[in-house]
Amino acid sequence: MPKAKTTTYTYQDSGDLETRTDARGISVTFSYDGLHRLRTKDHSTDASQHTDYEYDAKSNLKSVTSGAASILDAEAEEDNGPANTL
C-alpha cells in the first residue's frame, strides 16, 4: 500500500493561512496586512521565490512582484475600480 502524502496548513488567530507544508517538507509562508489582504509569500527552499502583493486604496490588486520581476502591474479606473491595464 502506498504511503499517504499529507499537506499541512497552519492558520493565524485571524483565520488567515500562515504556512503550507507539503509531503516533501517544502513550506510556503504567507503574511497579510491589517485588512487581511495577502502581502507576501515566501518559499522555504528558494529565497528568490519571495512574492510581494500591493493593493490600491480600494483594495484592488495593484501589483505582484516576484524576485526582480513584476508579474502584474495594474492601473484601475478611478470611478470604475477594475484594472484596465495589465
Helix (H/G/I), strand (E/B), else coil: 65: strand
Q: Is the pLDDT of residue 59 over 80?
A: yes
Burial of 53 (0-12, 13-18, 19+ CB in 10 A): buried
Rounded to two decimals, the pTM is 0.75
Phi, psi of 14 (to 5 degrees): -75, -15
pLDDT at 66: 86
Chain segment 3-55, per-residue pLDDT in tens? 789 999 999 999 999 999 999 999 999 999 999 999 999 998 887 789 999 99
- Is pLDDT of 84 > 80? no
**Domains in the chain: boundaries:** 1-32
Averaged pLDDT, 54-71? 86
10: β partners: 19
Q: Which residues sit opposite 27 in a β-bridge?
A: 21
Instruction: Please report the pLDDT score of residue 45 as a whole number.
Output: 86
